[in-house]
Amino acid sequence: MADDPGVLTLLLEYVKANDRVCPMPVRWSELWQMLPGRTRQGSTWDPPPPLIVKEWWDTPSFAKRDRLAEHIHWAETHGALAEVDRFLRALTESEWAHVGEFLTRPGE
């Protein structure tokens, strides 16, 4: 059952406000874990996991935003948009990665 499409649009706008890219790795992992219907497909998952660990440093911001949007759309089509909306809106600004942050690994 799909949720209200207006909520989807507003949430997709919210997650990009203030130059947000995606939740910080631990919080993004928590979000992914709450997505219903996740299934293992061989060595991958559907939906794909968040771009954390190695990908955190090696993936451009636009790809992280796209993956987060994919997770939000998954939540919408699996009846969990309200829960994901509450989770993301409850994050503090310091729990978000922003455009221009984390461009290099620490020590480089």
* Residue 98 included in any domain: no
- The span from the CA of 16 to the CA of 80, in Å, is 20
pTM above 0.85, yes or no: yes
Per residue in 4-50, pLDDT tens? 669 999 999 999 999 999 999 999 999 999 999 999 989 889 999 99
3-class secondary structure, 28? helix
* Residue 16 included in any domain: yes
* Residue 97 included in any domain: no
Residues shown for the chain: 108
- The span from the CA of 96 to the CA of 68, in Å, is 12
Question: Into how many domains does the chain fold?
Answer: 1
